[in-house]
Chain A
Amino acid sequence: MSGSEPLLRVEGLEKYYESESDFIDRLLGRQKKVKAVDGVSFEINEGETLGLVGESGCGKSTIGRSILQLREPTAGSVYFKGQDITTLSDSELRDLRKEMQIIFQNPQSSLNPRLTVNDIIGEALDIHGIEGDVTRDARIKDLLERVGLNASHANRYPHEFSGGQLQRIGIARALAVDPDFIVCDEPVSALDVSVQAQILNLLEDLQDELGIAYLFIAHDLSVVEHIADEIAVMYLGKIAEIGTPEELFVPPQHPYTEALLSAIPEPDPLWEGDRILLEGSVPSPIDPPSGCKFHTRCPRVIPPSDYEFEQEEWRAVMSFRHRAREEDIAVETFGDDDDALTEALRDELDLPSSLTDPEAERVVEEALRSVADEEFAAAESVLRETFETPCTTDEPALRRTDAGRVACHLFDPAYESGPTDGTRTDDGAVTGDGAAASGDD
């Protein structure tokens, strides 16, 4: 780590929660760890913005709160101005909060309804002993005007403001202590599109004027693109891809980034692009999938090299395997007749009536018969053992590609499946080691 130290450096951040459990479970040590954040590293430079994007439950808000030490991280370090703040005492942390602030998603619930705007913003000043009585009011007026509110409204209560105005008050409160870094946790998700644009512009203006760095958390890529210098896409507690907006939106892309982008509705009635529809929803972080966590939904899982698969067939086989593992196939509803049963199962599982590769067809047929007999484990194991793919066995690490860093085996030459010349990055070891690589054709 040479050169100038970034404002914020997060290294191997982990936050685990204990899953809900009863007394007996605790006694027997059967609690499970929920890996909300599972080894995340990134940097934010002074006056820059990192966008953090992902679906609900991917751990993005937990990261924001762990950085501010509002949730104590399980492991990993957070360096702010070169100092590891995970080791600070409470009083040191209090001082630090002058420099790090947060803006919440819902201003209605994050502003005290019983305080006037004057007191909401003044409270921050008082706690940190920033202004004297004389200059306090002037400072509050100045802050209100800076965020585009009328200074004469300082004596009003939160309920007298609209959602967009409340969010401006939330921003003014964060600005009051003159921070260098603000975590913006979905600050525009609850707002109308026209108001959303106003708030985004305001945040950008403030950054230009005051040189504040943001961690901007959102679930919408199009919102983040406008404000971020760098974007990290998260999936189940890990970063799937990180890069500048330009890098992120051009191939090579993580298949998840690709799907997120393609899911944004186009405001164009005659648009005729192909939408990538992901199956199912984000798996539970209590028992996350092995290997690449995205493999249960990924449309581009790497097919086994010994068999010939159409990509869609292969996706269907993978989904079949996943559902066999979860025992999520209701066999009894399909009737008793054996042939009709496997036929109905194929239909339910989106499997074609016959696969391209006769050898693969034989294996799938065998698995289907096992499922028909409700032997899910047998079905899962025959599929797992016959069709090997690195996506389910090896966890991908972030690797530098031509455009950003991507955690996907498709871009790892060790698996010779994607046309890339990726190189090892310095912030994560490459997991594949020749032995796991597929055949040589």
Chain B
Amino acid sequence: MAMLEVEDLNVRFYTDDGVVKATNDLSYRIEAGERFGVVGESGAGKSVTSLALMRLIDEPGVIESGEIRFKGQNLLEMNEEEMRSLRGNEIAMIFQDAETALNPSYTVGEQISEAIRYHLDLDEAAARERAIETLESVGIPSAAERYSDYPHEFSGGMQQRVVIAIALSCDPDLIIADEPTTALDVTIEAQILELLEEVATEFDTAIQLITHDLGVVAEFCDRVMVMYAGHPVEMAPVEDVYYNPQHPYTVGLMSSIPRIGDDRDRLQTIPGRMPDLIEMPPGCNFHPRCPYAEESCTRVDPQLVDVETGDPADPINSDAQTAACLAHTGELTGELEYEVTVRGEDDFPGPDGASSSAEVTDR
């Protein structure tokens, strides 16, 4: 049994314009200590997925069906009280915008020790001590002094460190990090990712990292789920996805990353945009944007299958590379044609020359 198992999760938003199908029969798992990446464009359902894990879906949203099992217990059957003792304690969350995640009218120290007092039942002094230790562990200099500073006295990168400190304060088993570095400058992003990696290893914490940046995923994650229109289109160990992507959408995402030193005149793009989640295209949701789409794609909704065998995927028990594309069930007449170039040491103009990188060209 994995630490976290999500099975057939369906989240719906009942809006005036119609029912928004934010996630559709979503299944995945995260093992203890694993780093699991969730990628996709805006509107793919990444953030809804993480809010559902915390049971933080608000009106008009509803978790319609499915199970979220954390250490074997179904979170959807817990009462509010049980849920509250889990949030921030065993499952913690890091948000994109640290400035809004922190309360401007409390000192950062108070915001950390609040969670510690509540969940770990420590007295004031002990909670303070632990809060200072946590601040130190996320690399805040002079932590004891800065304990009583307010959020506005910290820079953006330092605020994100505080948010990470709050998440770590009760030693959670799972951290859900929703675009934790998107609002930061690239040099600060590198610091924060290194920090997350360090603390995740030190405390053996599993991390679900939600991001639209494939570079961040490559660097950080063990396995990755590529989402499109509320469901996974590809799920696999991270090397498979980067060196041998098996879904046209993954290929499109990879090839639209601007890379320094490539000599392509034009960037590859994915034409069009994510469909309206109220009225999704029939068959494969991606077919209107897919360069390989055929007539059958407009009729048949492809299931997530093992790309080797074509058998239905078992995302909860298996590590195999899976993708939801008719090409893998023999229902396409053509083939997915593209080329993955892994850049060697010779042609990379970076500062150290010792590197390689994968690049996908869509033909």
Q: Which residues of A contact B (CB under 8 A)?
A: 55-56, 162-165, 192-198, 200-201, 204, 219-223, 225-226, 249-251, 253, 258-278, 281-282, 323, 328-330, 332-333, 348
User: Whole-angstrom distance between the alpha carbons of A204 and B266 in the complex?
Assistant: 9
Q: Does B215 count as interface, using CB distance less than 8 angstroms?
A: yes
Against A, the Cβ 8 Å flags (1 = close, 0 = not) of B270-282 are 1101100000000
User: Whole-angstrom distance between the alpha carbons of A330 and B239 in the complex?
Assistant: 44
User: Whole-angstrom distance between the alpha carbons of A281 and B358 in the complex?
Assistant: 30
The contact of A261 among B158, B243, B351, by CB within 8 Å, is B351
In the complex, the answer to whether B185 meets A192 with C-beta atoms within 8 Å is no
The total of Cβ contacts below 8 Å across the A-B interface reads: 172
Given contacts A194-B253, A195-B41, A222-B258, A271 and B194 within 8 Å (CB-CB): no
In the complex, the answer to whether B269 meets A201 with C-beta atoms within 8 Å is yes
Q: Which residues of A contact B194 (CB under 8 A)?
A: 275, 277
User: Whole-angstrom distance between the alpha carbons of A246 and B185 in the complex?
Assistant: 23
Q: Which residues of B contact A273 (CB under 8 A)?
A: 350, 352, 354-355
In the complex, the answer to whether A267 meets B268 with C-beta atoms within 8 Å is no
Q: Does B212 count as interface, using CB distance less than 8 angstroms?
A: yes
Which 3 pairs show the lowest CB-CB distances between chains A and B? Answer: A265-B215, A330-B142, A273-B355
User: Whole-angstrom distance between the alpha carbons of A265 and B216 in the complex?
Assistant: 6
In the complex, the answer to whether A265 meets B193 with C-beta atoms within 8 Å is yes
The contact of A263 among B157, B187, B214, B273, by CB within 8 Å, is B187
Residue of B nearest to A249 (CB): B349
Question: For window 215-252 of chain B, which residues contact chain A by CB distance below 8 Å?
Answer: 215-219, 238-239, 242-243, 252
Known: A266-B215, A267-B218, A268-B355. 8 other contacts (CB 8 A): A193-B214, A219-B186, A271-B218, A272-B354, A277-B194, A281-B185, A282-B185, A330-B141
User: Whole-angstrom distance between the alpha carbons of A258 and B187 in the complex?
Assistant: 11
Given contacts A193-B257, A197-B256, A266-B357, A55 and B267 within 8 Å (CB-CB): no
Q: Which residues of B contact A (CB under 8 A)?
A: 41-42, 141-145, 155-158, 185-191, 193-194, 212-219, 238-239, 242-243, 252-254, 256-261, 266-271, 273-274, 342-343, 349-352, 354-359
User: Whole-angstrom distance between the alpha carbons of A330 and B148 in the complex?
Assistant: 13
Residue of A nearest to B142 (CB): A330
Query: Nearest Cβ distance between residue B304 and chain A, in whole angstroms?
Result: 21
In the complex, the answer to whether B42 meets A192 with C-beta atoms within 8 Å is yes
User: Whole-angstrom distance between the alpha carbons of A165 and B274 in the complex?
Assistant: 12
Given contacts A55-B185, A225-B260, A281-B157, A271 and B144 within 8 Å (CB-CB): no
User: Whole-angstrom distance between the alpha carbons of A143 and B354 in the complex?
Assistant: 46
The contact of A249 among B42, B142, B214, B260, by CB within 8 Å, is B260
Query: Nearest Cβ distance between residue A271 and chain B, in whole angstroms?
Result: 6
Residue of B nearest to A284 (CB): B155
User: Whole-angstrom distance between the alpha carbons of A296 and B89 in the complex?
Assistant: 38
User: Whole-angstrom distance between the alpha carbons of A196 and B257 in the complex?
Assistant: 9
In the complex, the answer to whether A193 meets B253 with C-beta atoms within 8 Å is yes
User: Whole-angstrom distance between the alpha carbons of A189 and B214 in the complex?
Assistant: 15
In the complex, the answer to whether B141 meets A220 with C-beta atoms within 8 Å is no
In the complex, the answer to whether A200 meets B258 with C-beta atoms within 8 Å is yes
User: Whole-angstrom distance between the alpha carbons of A198 and B273 in the complex?
Assistant: 11
Query: Nearest Cβ distance between residue A426 and chain B, in whole angstroms?
Result: 28
In the complex, the answer to whether B253 meets A268 with C-beta atoms within 8 Å is no
In the complex, the answer to whether B144 meets A330 with C-beta atoms within 8 Å is yes
In the complex, the answer to whether B351 meets A197 with C-beta atoms within 8 Å is no
In the complex, the answer to whether A278 meets B357 with C-beta atoms within 8 Å is no
Task: Name, among A165, A193, A201, A274, the residue most crowded by chain B CB atoms within 10 Å (CB to CB).
Answer: A193
In the complex, the answer to whether B273 meets A226 with C-beta atoms within 8 Å is no
Q: Which residues of A contact B354 (CB under 8 A)?
A: 272-274
The contact of B186 among A201, A220, A251, A333, by CB within 8 Å, is A220
Query: Nearest Cβ distance between residue A333 and chain B, in whole angstroms?
Result: 4
In the complex, the answer to whether B157 meets A276 with C-beta atoms within 8 Å is no
Residue of A nearest to B355 (CB): A273
Q: Which residues of A contact B343 (CB under 8 A)?
A: 268
Q: Which residues of B contact A249 (CB under 8 A)?
A: 260-261, 349-350
User: Whole-angstrom distance between the alpha carbons of A329 and B271 in the complex?
Assistant: 53
Query: Nearest Cβ distance between residue B347 and chain A, in whole angstroms?
Result: 12
The contact of A197 among B42, B156, B267, by CB within 8 Å, is B267
19 examples of A-B residue contacts, CB within 8 angstroms: A194-B253, A197-B258, A198-B269, A204-B266, A222-B259, A223-B258, A261-B350, A262-B351, A266-B215, A267-B242, A267-B254, A267-B259, A268-B242, A272-B354, A273-B350, A274-B354, A275-B194, A328-B142, A333-B144
Task: Name, among A195, A258, A268, A274, the residue most crowded by chain B CB atoms within 10 Å (CB to CB).
Answer: A268
The contact of A194 among B41, B216, B217, by CB within 8 Å, is B41
Given contacts A249-B261, A271-B357, A162 and B273 within 8 Å (CB-CB): yes
User: Whole-angstrom distance between the alpha carbons of A323 and B141 in the complex?
Assistant: 10
User: Whole-angstrom distance between the alpha carbons of A164 and B43 in the complex?
Assistant: 13
User: Whole-angstrom distance between the alpha carbons of A348 and B142 in the complex?
Assistant: 9
In the complex, the answer to whether A264 meets B260 with C-beta atoms within 8 Å is yes
Q: Which residues of A contact B142 (CB under 8 A)?
A: 328-330, 333
Query: Nearest Cβ distance between residue A327 and chain B, in whole angstroms?
Result: 10
User: Whole-angstrom distance between the alpha carbons of A310 and B7 in the complex?
Assistant: 55
Residue of A nearest to B360 (CB): A267
Task: Name, among A192, A221, A222, A265, the residue most crowded by chain B CB atoms within 10 Å (CB to CB).
Answer: A265
Query: Nearest Cβ distance between residue A194 and chain B, in whole angstroms?
Result: 4
In the complex, the answer to whether B351 meets A276 with C-beta atoms within 8 Å is yes
Residue of B nearest to A276 (CB): B351
In the complex, the answer to whether B267 meets A200 with C-beta atoms within 8 Å is yes
Residue of B nearest to A245 (CB): B260
In the complex, the answer to whether B351 meets A194 with C-beta atoms within 8 Å is no
In the complex, the answer to whether B191 meets A265 with C-beta atoms within 8 Å is no
In the complex, the answer to whether A225 meets B258 with C-beta atoms within 8 Å is yes
The contact of B352 among A197, A220, A274, by CB within 8 Å, is A274
Query: Nearest Cβ distance between residue B248 and chain A, in whole angstroms?
Result: 12
In the complex, the answer to whether A275 meets B190 with C-beta atoms within 8 Å is yes
In the complex, the answer to whether B190 meets A267 with C-beta atoms within 8 Å is no
Q: Which residues of B contact A260 (CB under 8 A)?
A: 186-187
Residue of A nearest to B211 (CB): A265
Query: Nearest Cβ distance between residue A415 and chain B, in whole angstroms?
Result: 21
In the complex, the answer to whether A269 meets B218 with C-beta atoms within 8 Å is yes
Residue of B nearest to A278 (CB): B187
User: Whole-angstrom distance between the alpha carbons of A348 and B350 in the complex?
Assistant: 32
Query: Nearest Cβ distance between residue B28 and chain A, in whole angstroms?
Result: 19
Q: Which residues of B contact A193 (CB under 8 A)?
A: 41, 212-214, 253, 256-257
The contact of B190 among A200, A204, A277, by CB within 8 Å, is A277
